[in-house]
Structure 1
Amino acid sequence: MNTEAIAKRLVELCREGKYEEAQRELYAEDAESIEPEGLPPGALGNVKGLAAIYEKGRQFGAMLEAVHGGSVSDPVVAANWFSIALAMDVTMKGRGRMNMSEIGVYRVRDGKIVREQFFYDVG
Protein backbone atom coordinates (compact mmCIF):
# COMPACT_ATOMS: atom_id res chain seq x y z
CA MET A 1 0.00 0.00 0.00
CA ASN A 2 1.14 3.54 -0.64
CA THR A 3 0.99 6.32 1.95
CA GLU A 4 -2.42 7.59 0.87
CA ALA A 5 -3.98 4.10 1.02
CA ILE A 6 -2.44 3.48 4.46
CA ALA A 7 -3.71 6.86 5.70
CA LYS A 8 -7.24 6.20 4.47
CA ARG A 9 -7.25 2.71 5.99
CA LEU A 10 -6.02 4.03 9.35
CA VAL A 11 -8.79 6.64 9.38
CA GLU A 12 -11.38 3.99 8.48
CA LEU A 13 -10.32 1.64 11.28
CA CYS A 14 -9.97 4.43 13.86
CA ARG A 15 -13.46 5.71 13.05
CA GLU A 16 -14.70 2.19 13.83
CA GLY A 17 -12.75 2.14 17.12
CA LYS A 18 -10.49 -0.66 15.84
CA TYR A 19 -7.18 0.82 17.01
CA GLU A 20 -5.31 -2.41 17.73
CA GLU A 21 -6.52 -3.93 14.46
CA ALA A 22 -5.15 -0.85 12.67
CA GLN A 23 -1.80 -1.28 14.39
CA ARG A 24 -1.67 -4.99 13.60
CA GLU A 25 -2.48 -4.38 9.92
CA LEU A 26 -0.63 -1.16 9.18
CA TYR A 27 2.33 -0.79 11.57
CA ALA A 28 5.90 -2.09 11.21
CA GLU A 29 7.23 -4.39 13.96
CA ASP A 30 9.76 -1.72 14.98
CA ALA A 31 7.35 1.24 14.85
CA GLU A 32 7.67 3.94 17.48
CA SER A 33 5.03 6.02 19.24
CA ILE A 34 6.00 9.48 20.49
CA GLU A 35 4.11 11.69 22.96
CA PRO A 36 4.70 15.39 23.73
CA GLU A 37 7.41 16.46 26.15
CA GLY A 38 6.43 17.46 29.67
CA LEU A 39 3.93 14.70 30.45
CA PRO A 40 3.15 14.23 34.15
CA PRO A 41 4.58 11.25 36.05
CA GLY A 42 2.70 8.04 35.32
CA ALA A 43 1.52 9.21 31.90
CA LEU A 44 1.85 6.94 28.89
CA GLY A 45 5.10 7.96 27.23
CA ASN A 46 7.21 7.06 24.23
CA VAL A 47 7.51 3.42 23.21
CA LYS A 48 9.21 1.45 20.45
CA GLY A 49 8.04 -1.83 18.96
CA LEU A 50 4.61 -3.10 18.04
CA ALA A 51 4.15 -5.07 21.28
CA ALA A 52 4.85 -1.92 23.32
CA ILE A 53 2.41 0.09 21.17
CA TYR A 54 -0.30 -2.53 21.78
CA GLU A 55 0.36 -2.35 25.52
CA LYS A 56 0.27 1.45 25.49
CA GLY A 57 -3.15 1.30 23.83
CA ARG A 58 -4.41 -1.23 26.37
CA GLN A 59 -3.18 0.93 29.25
CA PHE A 60 -4.96 3.96 27.79
CA GLY A 61 -8.16 1.92 27.40
CA ALA A 62 -7.92 0.80 31.03
CA MET A 63 -7.88 4.47 32.12
CA LEU A 64 -11.26 5.08 30.45
CA GLU A 65 -14.52 4.75 32.29
CA ALA A 66 -16.65 5.61 29.24
CA VAL A 67 -16.31 6.86 25.67
CA HIS A 68 -19.13 9.23 24.74
CA GLY A 69 -18.02 10.09 21.23
CA GLY A 70 -15.17 11.14 19.03
CA SER A 71 -14.01 11.98 15.57
CA VAL A 72 -11.14 11.37 13.17
CA SER A 73 -10.46 13.80 10.34
CA ASP A 74 -9.66 12.90 6.79
CA PRO A 75 -5.90 12.55 6.31
CA VAL A 76 -3.55 15.14 4.85
CA VAL A 77 -0.84 13.32 2.87
CA ALA A 78 2.60 14.57 1.81
CA ALA A 79 5.02 12.02 0.30
CA ASN A 80 5.77 9.46 3.07
CA TRP A 81 3.96 11.43 5.80
CA PHE A 82 0.35 12.06 6.75
CA SER A 83 -1.54 13.69 9.58
CA ILE A 84 -4.99 13.38 11.10
CA ALA A 85 -6.86 15.25 13.82
CA LEU A 86 -8.38 13.06 16.52
CA ALA A 87 -10.92 14.04 19.18
CA MET A 88 -12.53 12.03 21.98
CA ASP A 89 -15.24 12.82 24.52
CA VAL A 90 -14.38 10.48 27.39
CA THR A 91 -14.82 9.93 31.10
CA MET A 92 -11.48 9.07 32.65
CA LYS A 93 -11.42 6.93 35.78
CA GLY A 94 -11.03 9.25 38.76
CA ARG A 95 -10.77 12.38 36.58
CA GLY A 96 -14.27 12.89 35.20
CA ARG A 97 -15.50 13.72 31.74
CA MET A 98 -13.27 15.59 29.31
CA ASN A 99 -12.78 16.39 25.67
CA MET A 100 -9.40 15.39 24.28
CA SER A 101 -8.02 16.48 20.92
CA GLU A 102 -4.69 15.96 19.21
CA ILE A 103 -2.90 15.90 15.90
CA GLY A 104 -1.28 12.60 14.91
CA VAL A 105 1.59 12.69 12.41
CA TYR A 106 2.62 9.40 10.81
CA ARG A 107 5.62 8.30 8.76
CA VAL A 108 5.34 5.44 6.27
CA ARG A 109 8.26 3.36 4.99
CA ASP A 110 8.11 0.19 2.89
CA GLY A 111 4.31 0.09 3.06
CA LYS A 112 4.03 0.28 6.88
CA ILE A 113 3.68 2.99 9.52
CA VAL A 114 7.06 3.29 11.25
CA ARG A 115 6.37 6.32 13.46
CA GLU A 116 3.41 8.01 15.06
CA GLN A 117 3.81 11.27 16.93
CA PHE A 118 1.06 13.05 18.81
CA PHE A 119 0.72 16.77 19.42
CA TYR A 120 -1.57 18.13 22.13
CA ASP A 121 -1.44 20.53 25.06
CA VAL A 122 0.05 18.96 28.18
CA GLY A 123 -1.41 19.90 31.54
Structure 2
Amino acid sequence: MSTEKVAKRLVELCREGKYEQAQQELYAKDAISIEPKEMAEGPMGNAKGLRAILDKGHQFMEALETIHKNEVSEPVVADGWFSVAMHLDATMKGRGRTDMREICVYHVRNDKIVQEQFFYDVH
Protein backbone atom coordinates (compact mmCIF):
# COMPACT_ATOMS: atom_id res chain seq x y z
CA MET A 1 0.00 0.00 0.00
CA SER A 2 1.49 3.35 -1.02
CA THR A 3 1.86 6.26 1.38
CA GLU A 4 -1.02 7.98 -0.42
CA LYS A 5 -3.29 4.93 0.07
CA VAL A 6 -2.33 4.69 3.76
CA ALA A 7 -3.07 8.41 4.15
CA LYS A 8 -6.46 8.20 2.45
CA ARG A 9 -7.45 5.16 4.50
CA LEU A 10 -6.42 6.87 7.76
CA VAL A 11 -8.47 9.94 6.85
CA GLU A 12 -11.47 7.80 5.93
CA LEU A 13 -11.41 5.87 9.22
CA CYS A 14 -10.74 8.96 11.38
CA ARG A 15 -13.63 10.83 9.77
CA GLU A 16 -15.84 7.90 10.80
CA GLY A 17 -14.43 8.02 14.35
CA LYS A 18 -12.80 4.59 13.89
CA TYR A 19 -9.44 5.52 15.43
CA GLU A 20 -8.68 2.11 16.93
CA GLN A 21 -9.49 0.35 13.66
CA ALA A 22 -7.11 2.75 11.89
CA GLN A 23 -4.34 1.94 14.36
CA GLN A 24 -4.92 -1.82 14.18
CA GLU A 25 -5.03 -1.78 10.38
CA LEU A 26 -2.40 0.80 9.45
CA TYR A 27 0.22 1.00 12.23
CA ALA A 28 3.41 -1.04 12.56
CA LYS A 29 3.79 -3.08 15.76
CA ASP A 30 6.77 -0.89 16.77
CA ALA A 31 5.21 2.47 15.83
CA ILE A 32 5.83 5.51 18.02
CA SER A 33 3.55 8.39 18.97
CA ILE A 34 5.02 11.80 19.83
CA GLU A 35 3.18 14.61 21.62
CA PRO A 36 4.36 18.21 22.15
CA LYS A 37 7.08 18.41 24.84
CA GLU A 38 4.62 19.86 27.39
CA MET A 39 2.49 16.73 27.06
CA ALA A 40 5.21 14.10 26.49
CA GLU A 41 5.04 12.51 29.96
CA GLY A 42 2.10 10.69 31.50
CA PRO A 43 -0.61 8.37 30.24
CA MET A 44 -1.59 10.61 27.32
CA GLY A 45 2.01 11.42 26.37
CA ASN A 46 4.54 9.77 24.08
CA ALA A 47 4.02 6.08 23.40
CA LYS A 48 6.21 3.34 21.93
CA GLY A 49 4.68 0.29 20.32
CA LEU A 50 1.20 -0.39 18.98
CA ARG A 51 -0.07 -1.72 22.33
CA ALA A 52 0.93 1.52 24.10
CA ILE A 53 -0.62 3.62 21.31
CA LEU A 54 -3.87 1.64 21.57
CA ASP A 55 -3.88 2.08 25.37
CA LYS A 56 -3.36 5.83 24.95
CA GLY A 57 -6.29 5.93 22.52
CA HIS A 58 -8.52 4.03 24.95
CA GLN A 59 -7.72 6.51 27.72
CA PHE A 60 -8.53 9.44 25.45
CA MET A 61 -11.83 7.91 24.30
CA GLU A 62 -12.80 7.16 27.92
CA ALA A 63 -12.23 10.85 28.76
CA LEU A 64 -14.72 11.94 26.09
CA GLU A 65 -18.29 12.64 27.10
CA THR A 66 -19.71 14.00 23.82
CA ILE A 67 -18.23 14.67 20.37
CA HIS A 68 -19.81 17.75 18.80
CA LYS A 69 -17.59 17.97 15.70
CA ASN A 70 -14.89 15.73 14.20
CA GLU A 71 -13.14 17.07 11.09
CA VAL A 72 -10.11 15.68 9.26
CA SER A 73 -8.56 17.45 6.27
CA GLU A 74 -7.42 15.84 3.08
CA PRO A 75 -3.87 14.51 3.43
CA VAL A 76 -0.77 16.24 2.09
CA VAL A 77 1.67 13.53 0.91
CA ALA A 78 5.42 13.77 0.27
CA ASP A 79 7.34 10.52 -0.29
CA GLY A 80 6.96 8.46 2.91
CA TRP A 81 5.34 11.26 4.90
CA PHE A 82 1.87 12.79 5.10
CA SER A 83 0.07 15.29 7.25
CA VAL A 84 -3.53 16.15 8.07
CA ALA A 85 -5.23 18.83 10.12
CA MET A 86 -7.69 17.54 12.71
CA HIS A 87 -10.38 19.43 14.58
CA LEU A 88 -12.28 17.88 17.47
CA ASP A 89 -14.91 19.84 19.37
CA ALA A 90 -15.82 17.68 22.36
CA THR A 91 -17.04 17.73 25.92
CA MET A 92 -14.48 16.06 28.17
CA LYS A 93 -15.50 14.35 31.41
CA GLY A 94 -14.79 16.71 34.29
CA ARG A 95 -13.29 19.41 32.02
CA GLY A 96 -16.17 20.71 29.95
CA ARG A 97 -16.23 21.56 26.29
CA THR A 98 -12.88 21.74 24.50
CA ASP A 99 -12.06 22.81 20.95
CA MET A 100 -8.95 20.88 19.83
CA ARG A 101 -7.10 21.64 16.59
CA GLU A 102 -3.84 20.00 15.59
CA ILE A 103 -1.53 19.14 12.74
CA CYS A 104 -0.74 15.43 12.62
CA VAL A 105 2.35 14.19 10.76
CA TYR A 106 2.81 10.52 9.88
CA HIS A 107 5.79 8.54 8.58
CA VAL A 108 5.06 5.44 6.48
CA ARG A 109 7.56 2.64 5.92
CA ASN A 110 6.82 -0.78 4.38
CA ASP A 111 3.14 0.16 3.97
CA LYS A 112 2.63 0.85 7.71
CA ILE A 113 2.64 3.98 9.85
CA VAL A 114 5.82 3.86 11.93
CA GLN A 115 5.53 7.30 13.54
CA GLU A 116 2.85 9.82 14.34
CA GLN A 117 3.59 13.26 15.73
CA PHE A 118 1.09 15.85 16.90
CA PHE A 119 1.50 19.62 16.87
CA TYR A 120 -0.91 21.77 18.86
CA ASP A 121 -0.89 24.59 21.37
CA VAL A 122 -1.12 23.47 24.99
CA HIS A 123 -3.52 25.74 26.92
User: Structure 1 segments of 4 or more deviating over 2 A?
Assistant: 39-43
Distance 1:112 1:40, change over 3 A: closer
**Aligned-residue offset at 1:54:** 0.5
Distance 1:48 1:72 in 2: 24
> Could you list the runs of 5+ residues in structure 2 that have no partner in the other structure?
none
Distance change >3 Å, CA 3–CA 98, structure 1 → 2: same
Q: Which residue of 2 aligns with 1:5?
A: 5
Structure 1 spans left out of the alignment, 5+ residues? none
User: Given the two structures, how large is their TM-score scaled by the length of structure 2?
Assistant: 0.96
Q: Distance in 2 between matches of 1:20 and 1:39?
A: 21
Structure 2 residue 114 is matched with structure 1 residue 121 = no
Shift of 1:65: 1.2
Partner of 2:55: 55
* C-alpha distance 104-41 of structure 1, shift in aligned 2 (>3 A): closer
CA distance in 2, matches of 1:41, 1:72: 26
1:59-113 superposed Cα distances (whole Å, 9 cap, x missing partner): 0011111111110000000000000000011001111111101000000001100
Deviation at 1:40, TM superposition (A): 8.6
Q: SS of the counterpart of 1:69?
A: strand
State percent identity of aligned pairs.
64
Q: CA RMSD in A?
A: 1.3
Distance 1:99 1:83, change over 3 A: same
Whole-Å separation in 2 of the counterparts to 1:42 and 1:78: 32
Aligned equivalents of 1:34, 1:100: Cα separation in 2: 17
Q: What corresponds to 2:22 in structure 1?
A: 22
TM-score (normalizing by structure 1): 0.96
What pairs with 1:9-88 in structure 2 (closer than 5 Å)?
9-39=9-39, 42=42, 44-88=44-88
Q: Write the distance in 2 (CA, Å) between the matches of 1:49 and 1:24.
A: 12
Structure 2 letter corresponding to 1:62: E
Paired position in structure 1 for 2:101: 101
